[in-house]
Amino acid sequence: MIGGFDTSAGAGVLADVKTAEQIGVQALSVLTANTIQTEYLFYDLEWLPIAGVRKAIAVLFQSYDIKCVKIGVVPDVLYLSNIVDEVIKYNRSCKIIWDTVIYSSSNQLFLCVSNEDMIKDLLPFIYLLTPNYMEFKALDLSGDIGVFVFLKGGHREDNIGQDILYGGSKEIVFMPSQIVKGNGKHGSGCVLAAAITSYLGKGFDIETACLKAKNYVTVFLNSNTSMLGYHKS
């Protein structure tokens, strides 16, 4: 799991690791940023040097058999490109899941998209993108872009909770399996992408991994009425 450190532990790699362990996957982590935040407010952000990120990725790939990698918050596309380059250097068949985080749930800007052509150059190496509705539109991910796209429906103005998996000729709609009670959850998008990554790592196909991940997140969203959810398998 490659992403940011969240002091509330609701999002970022801490949430990713919690999710993976509940699903039964041994998760490893590499930090791209340190943040100071709660589930309601964002205070500070420090990006970590890409050289250190690449070194950490190299050490892990040299030590472990890594099947899937989830990439979370990054500052720009060049930083992302460096991460992808380091991953495929060691395992070109590794499934890379990019959770296209542009804004945090507290409206902090993370990703600055200044080179859309570079994103297109990276797509052949990425297995799945997991944008929310706003990110889907901002990155112009409609149409067949040659990569699976799981459109998260939590920010839709209509059909809230309806997710769609796109890929080639596929367009599979995942409806909510039950009503979500209470408030939303800080980090729910991270949890969903981490769950998909974990199920893919266990060998499930993309459709099954997405369905099982959606069910996992539904339990997470219904775990309590606060903005920080409990993780339950």
DSSP state of 75: S
Half-sphere exposure (CA, 13 Å, Cβ side) for 84? 22
Read off the pLDDT band of 2 (50, 70, 90): very high
Among the ranges given (109-113, 170-174, 200-204, 221-225), the one the predictor scored with the smallest mean pLDDT: 109-113
The per-residue b/e assignment along 77-93, b for 16 or more CB within 10 angstroms, e otherwise, is: bebbbbbbebbeeeeee
pLDDT at 169: 73
Read off the pLDDT band of 136 (50, 70, 90): confident
pLDDT at 178 over 80: no
Q: Mean pLDDT, the chain, as a whole number?
A: 89
Domain boundaries, the chain: 2-221
pLDDT at 140 over 80: no
pLDDT digit string (tens) for 23-53?
999 999 999 999 999 999 999 999 999 999 9
Among the ranges given (51-55, 75-79, 94-98), the one the predictor scored with the smallest mean pLDDT: 75-79
Read off the pLDDT band of 113 (50, 70, 90): low
pLDDT at 68: 98
pLDDT at 108: 66
Better-predicted residue by pLDDT, 83 or 180: 83
- Overall average pLDDT of the 185-190 stretch: 91
Query: What is the architecture, at CATH level 2, of domain 2-221?
Result: 3-Layer(aba) Sandwich (3.40)
CA distance 196 to 204: 9
Read off the pLDDT band of 111 (50, 70, 90): confident
pLDDT at 133: 84
Is 0.85 topped by the overall pTM?
Answer: yes
Read off the pLDDT band of 155 (50, 70, 90): low
Using DSSP bridges, classify how beta strands 68-71 and 95-98 pair: parallel, antiparallel or unpaired. Answer: parallel
pLDDT at 29: 97
pLDDT at 185 over 70: yes
User: Directed axis angle between helix 12-23 and helix 188-201, to 10°?
Assistant: 40
Half-sphere exposure (CA, 13 Å, Cβ side) for 226? 8
Q: Tokens in use for 153? A: 């429906």
